[in-house]
Structure 1
């Protein structure tokens, strides 16, 4: 196996901007050059996808300096061998390569592997890349340019789903959100409004937010990071161009995260960021999802619910909902109204893109503004 050579420092004449650290004019401490962009890639048993993924990295049209930083999380296939086999081609293209990992009996999880890949990297900007996805040639260049103009933003992009047609509603949601909705729809069940495989940000912003949760399998490390980004005043931003082939398959780590785990995180974040600012509100959906949200709220926020509203005449005719499991006496009862009789602000607990446009038409008929008069929680 070839040793990993130390890549030659570019001179100011070549680069116009040499970034390095050293101590004293005699170089008593080894100097370390930073690069413009580090591609951060966690790997676990990904050998069947690596050729397409790595070839796409080689084909990037970005003119700055790049580095590929890989952490192999206890792969049992030949992922490590495949990665090492691409080292020379990467370095011939001018892309530095850092590969490390562990061979414990069990993987430590995506959050752990990403953190290791970030820690060992030296880029001023971080481009997160899953080993089963494929970059378009302009991805690094366009996201880098966007990051320079939006220093406090987590940059995403539109995606092309593979196989085509898989997760159709989810893919449409990813690609159709407006820039404002990247904030207002952060409470929906789809997760981060800029999806993790498309993330690009400065190292400074990443370190400000903090490392990924390393709880391992079943932990939504991307959603936890995304919510912490918003708490820290960071913002999501999307390049409105398809820059990534986002592969769907049953081995994807996201399938290990349970719906209940995501639900609890979303409820807590909704209460923290939205409901704490409201004196009262209406839950739009008197059915299962609306009632579940009500039951999961704190007692303080339950008392703020002035009504449920719906379009279902059977629910409306019941006229109220009684929270039978409550320990309060008498048990809380909440009116159920037709949506035209209800007043905002609203938390919408009806799934988007599932009513043939009826929900969206009803909201528009009330002349409500998303992010002020209502938020989606669905």
Structure 2
């Protein structure tokens, strides 16, 4: 897949923006705070329906505006697709495909992107929520309909938790809250599907993770990946876990909810389910979190992204996912820079952002665009490195690039 053109309206620090992109490497250069990562974030949103920097959509809408628009022309071999999403500060987002209204969860069917960013270190060193977010965004790209399942689970979880809090405030205990059973059924049905998909994802990532880690680190430290499931009573903090057969998950989930009901009513919280699970990562037989060195942690984080890209590359009929390397090279030593550049340069399209152009290894240093204060500039001008791009591709909401 190729992103041929990106258009933004009131997104982050951009009132408007038009960016032409090319097959192969594209380098976006600019000082910190100028808007490079905002461009990367916009492309990622189309593929994952989320941001790698914030947990809600409102911060992506320019200050003082009610909505933002991301529009991208995508090329899948000979087929062109115009994908558009309107991010609303309040209310549901809206999407269009080739000018026709569509559900937002259909966007990942067309946009396939893998992002590398400094925030990736939090996947291996941060809270379990960062690892769950990594896995769920990859699940959405792999199986777009799971975006709806995840959204429905979050909605049911909020409603069930609100009921628990209300019961605690009214002093209701035990079996007196019969309506909780209805929410349990919904939570189990949705949550079991999520847990099963996550387990299969971890299994499918295992071999690509081993290969990618060896390529990045230059050593074989036997990386492992598996889920600590709260429905099995696993404590994500101790890193111990067992797998779950697909037929077991719903039964395990129901038993766990029943066992914890008294405690849930006392605390006003839902204490078991995929929202409490953790993705356990190990190297050399030890949990990465708390035991791995800084270099090993970075190698695992990069390997997770490379493994994700290889998985999508293998499964997608649309070709390679777009790789976005967002300010990653400044965080890496010289050896890892060269290895990462060599491993990613062969993808159909790579988008690299950097504050310092010299940080970009030669294999990725081709088409260079400069960003300054929310303005997209082209450094190829002979008169000045900061002049507006002469060649622009204008798009409109009614454009239909056809099949």
Which structure is higher in helix share? 2
TM-score (normalizing by structure 1):
0.22
Determine which structure has more spread, i.e. the larger CA radius of gyration: 1
Q: Higher relative contact order at CA 8 Å, sep ≥6: structure 1 or structure 2?
A: 2
